[in-house]
């Protein structure tokens, strides 16, 4: 087992008294940029303390304030390749033309499920498709905007990205929205509490 996997596993409780459900279930959350995934996940983690939120492994350098093992598992490119070679990732992708790689470690997710904990993995469309193949029992959830116009307003309203980046994100968002029928459940994020409540119901938690 790699040191990075051990760091991730250290956050997985196996105490049966902490089990949120009889059976740990993997829920995979995806959706376009600016749909509100981060806000939904933050609120979800406040309401479900026992939730295991998967920590991605990445080859990029840590940003200011990021903590290894909490925000990401930071590894070298050779270490990431070993993850791939050993089939230790549920999904992975080359980013920015291969300048960096990112993925979801398999072992901590499986350990959390074995412990009976609800498990959440947040990925993009390609990652969701890979997890559908690697873990067919996972429930895939698509977080959708109330409308295309609202999504555009949210994305443009950020004011942090160039027009070129916005257009690229909108192009990607359109493709993601067209693929939402591939998911087991679609949650429209027009109200935060309603969206979080519906997501929680995926684990059978009242």
Binding-site positions read 31-38
The rounded distance, in Å, linking the Cα atoms of 120 and 110 is: 11
Range 197-200 contact pairs with CB under 8 angstroms and sequence separation of 24 or more = 199/27, 199/29, 199/40, 199/44, 199/141, 200/44, 200/47, 200/48
Instruction: Extract the tokens encoding 154.
Output: 């949210």
Handedness of CA 170, 201, 91, 73 (dihedral sign): positive
Q: What residues form the annotated binding site for ATP?
A: 31-38
């Amino acid at each position: 087992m790699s040191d990075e996997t051990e760091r991730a596993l250290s956050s997985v409780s196996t105490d049966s008294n902490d089990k949120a459900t009889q059976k740990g279930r993997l829920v995979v959350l995806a959706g376009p940029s600016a749909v509100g995934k981060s806000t939904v996940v933050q609120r979800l983690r406040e309401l479900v303390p026992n939730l295991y939120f998967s920590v991605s492994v990445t080859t990029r350098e840590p940003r200011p304030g990021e903590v290894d093992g909490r925000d990401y598992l930071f590894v070298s490119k050779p270490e990431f390749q070993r993850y791939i070679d050993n089939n230790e990732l549920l999904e992975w992708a080359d980013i920015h033309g291969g300048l960096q790689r990112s993925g979801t470690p398999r072992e901590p997710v499986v350990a959390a499920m074995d412990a009976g904990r609800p498990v959440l993995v947040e990925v993009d469309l390609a990652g969701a498709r890979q997890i559908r193949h690697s873990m067919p029992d996972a429930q895939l959830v698509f977080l959708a905007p109330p409308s295309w116009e609202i999504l555009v307003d949210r994305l443009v309203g950020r004011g942090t990205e160039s027009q070129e980046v916005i257009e690229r994100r909108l192009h990607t968002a359109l493709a993601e929205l067209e693929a939402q029928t591939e998911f087991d459940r679609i949650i429209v994020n027009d109200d935060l509490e309603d969206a979080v409540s519906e997501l929680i119901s995926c684990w059978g938690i009242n």
